[in-house]
Structure 1
Amino acid sequence: MNDLEFAKKLGYEFRDPELLRHALTHSSFINESKMEYSANNERLEFLGDAFFDAIISECLYHRLAHEEEGLLTKTRAVIVCERSLMECGVRVNIGDYLRLGKGENQSGGRHRTSILADAMEAVIGAVYLDGGWEKARELVLRLFDRTIEEAVSGKLYSDYKTELQERLQARGEVVIHYEIEREEGPDHDKTFFVKLLADGKEIGRGTGRSKKEAEQHAARTALETERW
């Protein structure tokens, strides 16, 4: 498998193929090959993260023209997240094209959520540098079309507590506990801080305007960091 084959999957032809090469190169490969740091995808990931957020924000601003800022923010949050990036990466089989170090490859790096998500952000950054805002926008809206539609219609799965419980219990019996560490602010405008434990081990933290929101955020953090 090669970069050109992946570019065809993306539906985008790079003028500078080296940008795509960098986007598909994980830091573990660079470390083992003793190549320059700039040859990995971390800088492109940084850039892609910002443009992914901006493109989705603009899309929702127009799609949800009569909705308040709060709903726009919540809708964006379920699109611009590690999970949706990972799922997009799976759809285009990005894991098959990544350059990983031997250790990372042997430990399942081609299927790791964070690596797939980061690589997709790097690809977005690479397309922006290669073709500009409109090409990056076109790519994002095409690749994330289904995700956007589900989010706008309220169908996108966002019950992180249930998902986490199901994934943890698939590995066996586990005791999950959400512990409120503290509360800040007056009664009418409180912020709750929650710590999430699985069999006594901390696996996530979250904050929110309600206990339920804070717990959801803690569960989401646990899913994204996979510290369990």
Structure 2
Amino acid sequence: MNKAKNWLEKALQYRFVSIDLFKQALTHRSFSKKNNERLEFLGDAVLDFVVSEKLFELRPNATEGDLSKLRSFLVKETTLAELAFELDLGRHLILGSGELKAGGNRRESILSDALEAILGAIFLDQGFNAVREVINHIYSSRYIELPELSDLRDPKTKLQEWLQERKMALPSYELIQVLGKNHQQNFVVTCFVSEEAISTQGKSTTRRKAEQEAAQKMAKLLKEKIQ
């Protein structure tokens, strides 16, 4: 655990009082019944509050709806996984042998859950002010580079709006294939626009993400063809 402790102090600028809490935060359910799931639950709640508080400060004129969209963008699984990659968290996770062989230390869901678990553990270890400081530290660059609200619309919404502006029929999505085993599935989805008789394909770890990828490809294809 010494390497993990040294990593934590450098990456998060935090030192645990309770090493047991730190170890539990890194432990996936595939390794032990005493794992990080409960800490993840707590960390998720703390993260939501701290990010909400910061956004309230940074965007004094934003509406409640706008603040909610920005918060969702900052605390979603993809953003948390990106932060975990940047922090090199995967190297220090404690996984069962099967999960490790399957590449669990690089999987977005496991990384994002572990990061939330660490935040929950910090809250229990030294309280709210300590975890607030850590969260604002790791999110500092994200706060500076907050996107415009128009950029937060997902690809499916953008495609739908683009088609509606041109009075074209809305796209249809179809799940055509599910690859892999239950714990490591990939979904293949097509996006079809009838008026142009063209389709695109998306593939990802969830059906929703696959649809978003297909929609993004469709938007690019249509813009190249029509504009």
TM-score class normalised by the smaller sequence = 0.5 to 0.7
User: Which structure has the greater CA radius of gyration?
Assistant: 2
Percent of counterpart pairs with the same letter? 34
CA RMSD, Structure 1 to Structure 2 (Å):
2.8
* Equivalent of 1:114 in 93, 101, 109: 109
> Pick from 176, 194, 203: which aligns with 1:199?
176
Report the counterpart of residue 154 of structure 1 in structure 2.
148
Asked if residue 23 in structure 1 is aligned to residue 18 in structure 2, the reply is: no
CA–CA distance in structure 2, aligned partners of residues 6 and 221 of structure 1? 35
Whole-angstrom distance in 1 between the partners of 2:90 and 2:150: 24
Partner of 1:131: 126
Tell whether the 8 Å contact from 2:78 to 2:108 is kept in structure 1 after alignment: yes
User: Corresponding residue for 2:35?
Assistant: 40
Counterpart for residue 171 of structure 1: none
Does the aligned pair in 1 maintain the 2:90–2:106 contact within 8 Å? yes
Q: Is the 2:70–2:149 contact (alpha carbons within 8 Å) kept by the matching residues of 1?
A: no
TM-aligned CA distance change 1:63 to 1:143, over 3 Å: same
CA–CA separation in structure 2 for the residues paired with 1:178 and 1:43: 40
Instruction: Provide the rounded CA distance (Å) in 2 between the counterparts of 1:63 and 1:221.
Output: 34
Measured after TM superposition, the shift of residue 6 of structure 1 is: 2.5
Q: Deviation at 1:156?
A: 10
Structure 1 equivalent of residue 5 of structure 2: 4
Show the counterpart of 2:86: 91
Cα contact 1:84–1:147 (8 A) shared by 2: no
What is residue 50 of structure 1 aligned with on the other side? Answer: 45
TM-score, normalised via structure 2 length: 0.68
Equivalent residues of 2:69, 2:152 under 8 A apart? no
Rounded to whole Å, the distance in 2 between the matches of 1:131 and 1:99 is: 23
How far the C-alpha of 1:149 sits from its partner, in A, is 2.3
Structure 1's 100 and 178: CA in aligned 2 closer, same or farther, altered over 3 A? farther
Q: Number of matched residues?
A: 172
Task: Return the TM-score normalized by structure 1.
Answer: 0.67
* Aligned residue in 1 for 2:77: 82
Structure 1 pair 148–178 and aligned structure 2 pair: CA distance change class (3 A):
farther
Instruction: Output one character per residue of 1:164-190: Cα deviation in whole Å (capped at 9) or x when no partner.
Output: xxxxxxxxxxxxx964xxxxxxxxxxx
